[in-house]
Amino acid sequence: MRRQIEDETLHAVDAVERDACALICSIRKGGQATHGNVKRTIEALARMGHRTGYINGEGDGVGIMTDIPRELWSKRLSRRGVRASLATDRNFWVAHVMIPSRARTRAQHIVDEISRRISEAGLHILYDGPGDVNRLVLGPNAEKNEPVFWQIAGINGQVPPQELERTLFRLQTHLEQVLGIHFPSFSSHSVVYKVQGTVEILRRYYPELR
């Protein structure tokens, strides 16, 4: 539900109150990324389930942003024959890509184009592949609209380190515009997992979150 707030000091966007979402923030004081913190955040979101919007019995969407799971990526790189320690390098980055369901048959072509443009921007790709998901847990609407989830990871090549995050963001916005895709995240710091459904669906859809 939206309600107009009468306050001339507010920007037009901020003058509309939005009261149908739940936001949870969980931070470790020491700044160390742990899977336990991810689990606690998901549990907190589950307790806020009464704030979820529902469409025909399905949750309208939920997501979580967390630090790049570097231990997971170290193992993933190692299985590809790539030096595992690169996942802990400050110049390591991860892109989560969602390709619309209507473009499913063209997914590989789109990924190839994404990879080409990433390389042209001065970044080295170490890994790309379909993300691990369990589509059996989706409701009818979510299953019909399910995008292709793809993960791309790499290391900085020719971009000045202080410009890496800015370069990733500019690439993200450009590729979304020209290719009609969506990046939940494209960063050297964080990743985003999102799904059309409830928090329980989120946890079951992405095995990485368990």
Contact between 149 and 95 under an 8 Å Cβ cutoff? The reply is no
- Residue 101 CA to residue 196 CA, distance in Å, equals 13
Cα dihedral: 131, 137, 143, 145 (round 10): -60
Going along the chain from its start, the domains and CATH numbers come out as 2-209 (3.60.20.10)
**Entry pTM:** 0.84
- Residue 197 CA to residue 210 CA, distance in Å, equals 17
Contact between 87 and 164 under an 8 Å Cβ cutoff? The reply is no
Residue 48 CB neighbours (<10 A):
14
Contact between 49 and 198 under an 8 Å Cβ cutoff? The reply is yes
Read off φ and ψ for residue 45, nearest 5 degrees.
Answer: -60, -40
Residue 158 CB neighbours (<10 A):
9
- Residue 193 CA to residue 42 CA, distance in Å, equals 11
Both tokens of residue 205? 């859809």
Q: Report residue 122 CA to chain centroid gap.
A: 22
- pLDDT 10s digit of each residue in the chain, 210 long? 445 555 555 556 555 555 557 777 887 777 777 777 888 888 877 777 666 666 666 777 889 999 999 999 999 999 999 999 999 999 999 999 999 999 999 999 999 999 999 999 999 999 999 999 999 999 998 999 999 999 999 999 999 999 999 999 999 999 999 999 999 999 999 999 999 988 889 999 999 998
